[in-house]
Structure formats: structure tokens, C-alpha cells
Structure 1
């Protein structure tokens, strides 16, 4: 999608603001032991840049999220590498992948179907790293209703309003697939886009009937006595649709392959650390985005962030069945590469 000059100017301004705020993310001394433990949690050493190698500042959203870029920076995993995040302010979830595809930002974390659709439309991007994995105790997204609601089964949702964070991603396609499997006419549901950090309140005030919420913000709904969790995506598809990978702009990859490798390695190390230190990850996230720790929920991550093909094929099949992309236009190999992941090919 074309981006006009005013958009570029705004992003440059936000980038300056984001870099000015980066210094505020330094962790207090009490994190030192966790940082040392983090280094041991990763299975491969960091890549140290050679003398004279340029450090590449990659453009990235500064969103209130549980995110490996932020965690890797907090843990010091970009130190000694050829890459540094340059935050460009908050970017609405539906805009992240289109902006990666046009190069307005260099990396973005969003669901596979958005990347597939972007590639089908001719945008220049590639999945370079796996992301979250759904566990029963750490799902990718949760489904909430009000306790005083009569909604308890999929069929009860006909005629109701579902709030979710964007069209074209997991919340839409995983949910519609599940509802159809249970005989629900999804065309009789009103689908309303509501950001994750607003969904709990929107549901509690009765403006939607069901909210689909991702971590860390799903924790607030879990602790809200007026709300009830019905399902998680683990209940719907055992997590097949729950991988939220990291994608990069094609030109950035081609011009900065070593920096791309350093970004992928840094977030893979951070992912391994999160899996080994879930409470520490929650604390860092709570501090960073100003949330009450008890409400911060975390993700689990694919080991070493090595990409596998089934989650990608899952969404290619869905998009073809939904008529969103022509059959055969996008192949699995068009969507991803493990070329920049130093853990690929190593024992898990």
C-alpha cells in the first residue's frame, strides 16, 4: 500500500521521539542476575560485530505489548551486534504488516495470514523468525464474556458482537473456522475491531458481547470478577494457528543480511529466556508498559524461534478456502526463511 509523504514525515518524527525514550528502558541493578541467567538460557553465543562494522538501526513499533524486541533490548542481547531497535512510536496492529511490506518499518510481529495476504498482494516482506506457541497454560489469545451474559456455546454468538484486534489475522480466521465447525453462521455475527488494551473495558461496559484478547492484556480480563473466560485458542485448534512470527522488509534483508541475522538471534535468545524465566519476563513487561504485574500475561515461544511449515500451510489453506487469495498463488516457501536463524539445524 502506498504511503504518502506526510506519513513518512510523521514516522520520522516518531522515530526521534522513540529513540529519545529508549534510555528510560534500562533495568535496575536487581535484574543483573536474571541477565546472567538469560545468557545461559540461549543455546548459541551472540554474534559480536567486527571492528568498524556499522550498527544498523532498524525501525520498529513502540507498542504496549509483550514483545521479544523489547525484551531482547532489556536483556542486553543487542549489545555487541550490528543491530539496534529504533522505535517509531505506536502503530495500530492492522497497519504493522502493510508498513513492513512497504519499508516504512523494517520488522514487525503479526500473524501469518496477514503476511501471506501481503505477499499475495505484491508487498516485499518475509517471515524471518517464528514467534509464540500456544500452550494450555499460556495460550495466544483468550475468549471472554460477561458473567451475566447467556453466551456459553458457539451457537449463542449468532446475532451478537465480537470484539477482536484486527481483520485478517488469527482472531478472525481461527475463530470463524471454529464457529463453522460448530454450525454457526458467522455472517450473523457483528465483528468489531477493538484494540487488545481496550477490549476488557469495552466488554465490561456492554459494548461488545465477546472479547478476544491477547497477552499481556488478557490478564486484566482474567482478574475482572464481572467477566468469564469461555475458551482459549488452545481449546479451538490446539495452537496450530497461534504462531505470531517476526517479519522483515525484503529490501532491509537484502541490504543488511548480517543485521537481520543479529536481530533474529537476539530475539531467539530472548524467547529461550522467556520460556526459562516466565516470571522475569512478566516483570520486565509490566515495568515497560506500566501495567499492574498481576494482570500481565505472557507468551510461550517456539524453541529457538525456528520456523516450521505446518502453521503457515494452515493459514494458506484458510485464506484459499475463504477466497482471500487465489489457490496456488502463495506457496509455503514464499512466506518464510530460516536462513538468518543461527539455531536452525541445531538440536532443539
Structure 2
């Protein structure tokens, strides 16, 4: 997929710095309208003619994950709507938010700090739907060590290598915040990016000392007798950092507000269905990604996927404290909107 020079520069900035100084985004209702005749530019979705209204295709990763877009499609929640997913192949986790922010894909789901950093760097992106949430029985991520490593306490991580799925997201910031509170020198830890679907094996072969793994892939580590679970993110912050939202390319939302509402409605319905039918959702995910059912861990989702502000402010505070964004650069309301969610209350829309 071609990326022009300006987009390549933006992606490089995010990859190297995690965030940069630039103007924050306006609320969607105030987004500037693009000039007419721009439909041939990258980021404009394909429109397929069919019976009735045109169907808008949104570009989306085809990743081996427990994902509401895939579940909504399997459940038929896009039927009768004006939008459908157009899968564009596998995309590495660290690339998803930069690619949404430049329009190479139209929607993506990654953690809040990545979206905040993208907004701070000037990318055109907005959170439009809450996603996963952390419960004690269904955490967002789990921490594992090799059973024979002797690692059992936070202080034991000093001098060790910790594998996690990307810099700039929950695994980095939630972990560092917790470890510092436990008196751990996080600068004495070697942080290594290891994809979730490779983390169990990398830890079992002792190429890393600790692995931070998200569902559904944490299920294999949970049942691997060579490994021991240390903590979950629920143990670290009570779940405050566990919201994994869905974000949209700003231009897509401006040009296709009805399709954006259709998508948010479909995944919100799917989220509520998953909460009510966790085992059936696991079966669908198992079949889709080719993982043995007993190893697929469940997800829990925010009710109706309505975005709330505390999880966003939590990460703004962390990013400011870490020096990743200037103080006051990004406000909570720069990051999200519930205007596309048909289940949002008037208070959530205010």
C-alpha cells in the first residue's frame, strides 16, 4: 500500500518519538471540511453499488485477534447497514494507529495512549467507541515468567528482559507506573517488543524473562506448565488503564458519518452480545484465528461501548509525567466523541 512522503514522515515521527508537538484535533462536529473532488486521495473508501443505498467499505486489519469487527460480521450486524469491512491483510500492532491517523486504514483498535500521542503529533484520528475493559476474571493483559526463573516480585524484574507487544501502549505505561510505585528502577529493565502470538513460546524458550500477553493469546501461557502467572493489569490499577477503544480516520468520519454510525452501532451490539455470550464468542474467535478453543481467553467490553473520560485522563496524565507530550497539549475532549454511538446518553454526548 503506497504511502506518500508526508505520511511516511508522520509514521517515522510516531515510531521514533511516540509523540510530537503539533496542534490537537477539533471535535468531530467542528472538523474542517475537505475540499470537494478529493475522493481520489488515499484514505477515501471504496463505494460498492448494490441494491438500495451504496455500501461504504472501510479498510480494516485482518489480524489474528479477538475483535468486535470480526464478531459483528459473523453475527450479521452489518446486514442492512451502509457499511462493510474491507480487510487489507495483517498489520503489526505498532503500525495500526499511525495508519489510521494517515488514512491508510479507516478504523483500528489500540490503546488510548497511542491515540493521544497520534493526536499530539497532528494526525487526523479520533476515538469513536470504547472497547475492551478489565475485569478481575477477564483482565486486559497478564504477566508471566518461566516457572524456574525465580521471578515472583516486581523487584525481581530489575536486570531482566520483559517482552510486550509495543512501546507507547498499555503494556509499557501501566507496567512502568506500577513498578515505580513498587520501588523498581524501570531503567534497569530491558524492554523488548514481542508480538502477543509469539510471546508464550519466546518466554517458554527463555529468550525473555517476563512476557506481558493479551487475550486471546494469554490463554496458552496460562495453561503452559512451564510458565507461572505473576499478575494481571487488574492487580496493577484496578482496570483503569484497560479500555481498548476503536478509532477512526477523521476524514472518513467527516465524509461518511452514516457509515461511521453504522460501524459503531454494529460493534456496540457485538460487544453487548459478547458480554452475554462469552463462550460462544470464544468459539467464533477460535474458528476464525485457528486457535484451539481451550486456549482462547475471553474479552469483556464496556457496556454499549460508550466512551468515558477517566481512562483517557489516566493516560494523558501518564504521558505528561513521562515527558511524551507537553502538559496541556491534549485535552480529554480532543481524544474522543460519542456522537456516532446510538446508545450514548445525552450526558455522554454533552
TM-score, structure 1 normalization: 0.86
> Are 2:211 and 1:211 aligned?
yes
- How far apart are the structure 2 equivalents of 1:51 and 1:240? 45
- How far apart are the structure 1 equivalents of 2:3 and 2:123? 13
In the alignment, which residue of structure 2 is the partner of 1:128? 128
Relative distance call for 1:347 and 1:119 in structure 2 (3 A) is closer
Q: What are the residue-to-residue correspondences of 1:1-348 with 2, within 5 Å?
A: 3-4=3-4, 52-345=52-345
Secondary structure of the corresponding residue to residue 131 of structure 1: strand
Secondary structure of the corresponding residue to residue 245 of structure 1: strand
User: What's the offset of the Cα at 1:52?
Assistant: 3.3
- How far apart are the structure 2 equivalents of 1:171 and 1:204? 19
- How far apart are the structure 2 equivalents of 1:78 and 1:346? 25
Q: Which digits, 9 at most, give the CA deviation of each residue in 1:292-319, with x for residues without a partner?
A: 0000001100000000000000000000
RMSD of the TM alignment (CA)? 1.7
- How far apart are the structure 1 equivalents of 2:54 and 2:162? 47
Gaps in structure 1 of 5+ consecutive residues: 9-49
In the alignment, which residue of structure 2 is the partner of 1:19? none
Q: Which digits, 9 at most, give the CA deviation of each residue in 1:145-176, with x for residues without a partner?
A: 01101111000000000000000000000000
User: What's the offset of the Cα at 1:62?
Assistant: 0.2
Relative distance call for 1:251 and 1:277 in structure 2 (3 A) is same
- How far apart are the structure 2 equivalents of 1:144 and 1:341? 36
In the alignment, which residue of structure 2 is the partner of 1:43? none
User: What's the offset of the Cα at 1:53?
Assistant: 2.0
Aligned length: 305
Secondary structure of the corresponding residue to residue 244 of structure 2: coil
User: What's the offset of the Cα at 1:346?
Assistant: 7.4
Gaps in structure 2 of 5+ consecutive residues: 9-49
User: What's the offset of the Cα at 1:347?
Assistant: 10
Secondary structure of the corresponding residue to residue 59 of structure 1: strand
- How far apart are the structure 1 equivalents of 2:272 and 2:52? 30
- How far apart are the structure 2 equivalents of 1:52 and 1:257? 18
In proportion to residue count, which structure has more helix?
Answer: 1
- How far apart are the structure 1 equivalents of 2:346 and 2:132? 19
TM-score, structure 2 normalization: 0.85
Q: Which digits, 9 at most, give the CA deviation of each residue in 1:46-83, with x for residues without a partner?
A: xxxx9732110000000000000000000000000001
Q: Which digits, 9 at most, give the CA deviation of each residue in 1:92-139, with x for residues without a partner?
A: 000000000000000000000000000000000000000011000000
- How far apart are the structure 2 equivalents of 1:94 and 1:182? 28
User: What's the offset of the Cα at 1:277?
Assistant: 0.1
Q: Which digits, 9 at most, give the CA deviation of each residue in 1:175-202, with x for residues without a partner?
A: 0000000000000000000000000000
Secondary structure of the corresponding residue to residue 202 of structure 2: helix
User: What's the offset of the Cα at 1:3?
Assistant: 2.5
Secondary structure of the corresponding residue to residue 338 of structure 1: coil
- How far apart are the structure 2 equivalents of 1:229 and 1:3? 41
